[in-house]
Amino acid sequence: MNYLIIHGYQSTAQRFSQEADIDTPVDPSSLGDRRQVMALIQDGRIQEAIEKINDIDPELLDTNPSLHFSLLRLQLIELIREGFDSNDGNVQPAIDFAMAHLSQRAPNNPQFLADLEKTMALLCFPPDSLIPQLKELMDVKLRREIANKVNLALMTNQGVQGEPRIHNLINLWSWGEALLSEKVDFPRLERNDLF
């Protein structure tokens, strides 16, 4: 159940709770909301995700400036990507966005400033000749990372434990197996065998 809640599988969690005759520890609608936010971020629709986050938890981004900055930075990256993909290569909307939404936040935090400078460096190179540090920013893995951070923050504010309990059980099993292997020789089960 914990895994389903953390990853936002609303219908599966509801069905599981019905079949097992147990209560869902959180409001089932919040699972779908979190899942929707994650999907929006992973699709690159950052403004819509920010609006949905504000609908779910209006204070989250105000109380977590690092997360808010990460989302705005990701939105800037998406605008840069759109500019690169457009026929005319117009990146002016990205520059305007950075000036309006990120330039005031960056000077107050050295990490924000470094991240903004790195992101703006994307504008200095054609997309096909980016250095590895800048290619990371254009990789869709960054969307997943930010989506996971947002999901964790929303769960924390909803009082849900952030890591699935099954991961803790696997770590405990691994520790026990390592301890046992010091005393007895036995065939080991690898983590990959479990999944």
DSSP per-residue string spanning 30-78: HHHHHHHHHHHHHTT-HHHHHHHHHHH-TTHHHH-HHHHHHHHHHHHHH
Under DSSP, is residue 161 helix (H, G, I), strand (E, B) or coil?
A: coil
The answer to whether residue 67 is domain-embedded is yes
Average pLDDT, the chain: 83
The answer to whether residue 189 is domain-embedded is no
Stronger pLDDT, 180 or 46, i.e. the higher one: 46
The answer to whether residue 183 is domain-embedded is no
The answer to whether residue 30 is domain-embedded is yes
What 8-state DSSP symbol labels residue 21?
Answer: T
The answer to whether residue 186 is domain-embedded is no
Please check the confidence at residue 153 and state whether its pLDDT lies above 60: yes
Stronger pLDDT, 139 or 18, i.e. the higher one: 139
Domain that residue 80 falls in: 2-163
Q: Which two tokens stand for residue 68?
A: 């808010």
The model's pLDDT over 70-118, given as tens digits with 9 standing for 90+, comes to: 999 999 999 999 998 887 878 899 999 999 999 999 998 999 999 999 9
The answer to whether residue 66 is domain-embedded is yes
The answer to whether residue 176 is domain-embedded is no
Q: Which two tokens stand for residue 97?
A: 């966005």
Please check the confidence at residue 128 and state whether its pLDDT lies above 90: no
Q: Please count the structural domains in the chain.
A: 1
Q: What is the Cα 156 distance to its own chain's centre?
A: 14
What was the pLDDT predicted at 1? 46
The answer to whether residue 101 is domain-embedded is yes
